[in-house]
A and B are shown apart, each in its own frame.
Chain A
């Protein structure tokens, strides 16, 4: 049987307990919490976990704000694709 755990972040295997403990250690804004605990730093970049973490923060009396900054890419892009030349552009330096 798997151990009884409520996973908060699937990508990094962060549990709900870890989020709560970090909040109690004083990481009370979502950006610091993210970096300390690690949620949102994996392949899905926070799409799964952000709302759950916000709810945990709100339950602990913290205003979670609108969430972490969102950065591109929305889903991972191969280097070869990003490196492709742009049709019609002069060769970029």
Chain B
């Protein structure tokens, strides 16, 4: 196998990557797990969510700050720099704050006295705040385009696919876009998919803004179908933020990109998904050393490590066990994505601490007319149910369009 080698630097050191690697993935393969330091306590942070949803992998790329290295492909000659560290990523003395303020630290009552020093406090804090320098590069921006469409499908999973097929066979103008890096961005047959695009947000009049990084699209849909897969939640035990603790999505992406994730790996969380990750690892051909899957009823009590995880303690409520490890994969519960629904003004309900869901009626229409939620967006996790929800929603749209007398081919 002769992968094209790409050369890049991180904090002045030279590294190699393979074509298709993300910046974080390539560094992980080279054994670099710490990518940044956290904002207040300068705790070590590294690749965690794998989908651009968290701040743990933010780096400066070619002068542009706050770039999510977990979803950014490496390119030849890329200059990557870490942010928010004092002295170095591996030895940052500000982490002493982490120990000094054991319960947390807020600024509400501090830096008020003496009054004459206030200007000085503010200067110092201003300089320490801010994640990146004013970016020194120009951004290539193509003109924004408008798209008028009958149906906009947001999401990339099974229900989205079924909805796109149905729309296509009914001859509806259909545009599809995903909303997160957690979903596959492959073409949904029958729709014009905005490749590599993500939803920016929902605005006045139900217009949806979409970005592919260099061009914005303003989509003016008559109907919107929210069909997103759930977002996998972090498992929040003490020190879950240590480098080496990966969410399922991050681990799967690394494996797909042919990056060995660790030599002593623990997989924990939801049962079927744990097994799936383990299987993927075992059949990947990658070096992986020992794989431990936590048994049912055993939870992680805490993780330990200096710059990355080196052991965890698990418990079943009674006994405890310590497992030495250098990688923990967490398969936390999936929560429906509700942000776009909320921006559109759709009713979202929550029962106690269960994840909020988008309210839909029996046609899978939300409380906002012409906005539908199916599949994962409607908290429908079963495959055939997801298909069914897509069919019902699209049928409804078709009959509404017929009724309105408007039909486009």
Same assembly: yes
B104 near A14 (CB under 8 angstroms)? Answer: yes
Chain A residue nearest in CB terms to B49: A48
CB distance from B227 to the nearest CB of A (A): 16
Q: Mark A29-60, 1 if CB is under 8 A from B, else 0.
A: 00000001110001110011001101101110
Q: Which residues of chain B in 279-297 are interfacial with respect to chain A, using CB atoms and an 8 Å cutoff?
A: none
Segment among B119-127, B156-164, B230-238 that sits at the interface with chain A: B230-238
Interface size on A, residues (CB 8 A): 58
Whole-angstrom CA separation of A27 from B43 in the bound complex:
27
Query: Taking A42-B55, A72-B209, A73-B200 as contacts, is the C-beta distance between A10 and B103 under 8 angstroms?
Result: no
Whole-angstrom CA separation of A76 from B58 in the bound complex:
12
A47 near B352 (CB under 8 angstroms)? Answer: no
Chain A CB within 8 A of B382 CB: no
Q: Which residues of chain B in 130-154 are interfacial with respect to chain A, using CB atoms and an 8 Å cutoff?
A: 131, 138-139, 141-146
Query: Taking A72-B201, A73-B200, A75-B198 as contacts, is the C-beta distance between A10 and B241 under 8 angstroms?
Result: yes
Segment among B3-11, B260-268, B341-349, B371-379 that sits at the interface with chain A: B341-349
B238 near A85 (CB under 8 angstroms)? Answer: no
Q: Of A3, A42, A55, A81, which contacts B211 at CB under 8 A?
A: A81
Chain A residue nearest in CB terms to B302: A4
Number of cross-chain contacts by CB at 8 Å = 180
CB distance from A64 to the nearest CB of B (A): 7
Chain B residue nearest in CB terms to A86: B144
CB distance from B24 to the nearest CB of A (A): 15
Query: Taking A1-B305, A69-B342 as contacts, is the C-beta distance between A43 and B239 under 8 angstroms?
Result: no
Interface size class of B (residues with CB under 8 A): 35 or more
Determine the chain A residues whose CB is within 8 A of the CB of B58 once the complex forms: 43
Whole-angstrom CA separation of A74 from B203 in the bound complex:
12
CB distance from B27 to the nearest CB of A (A): 19
Whole-angstrom CA separation of A67 from B357 in the bound complex:
11
List A residues at the B interface (Cβ < 8 Å).
Answer: 1-8, 10-18, 21, 36-38, 42-44, 47-48, 51-52, 54-55, 57-59, 63-67, 69-78, 80-89
Known: A18-B106, A72-B200, A74-B339. 6 other contacts (CB 8 A): A4-B102, A5-B41, A18-B103, A37-B106, A67-B348, A70-B342
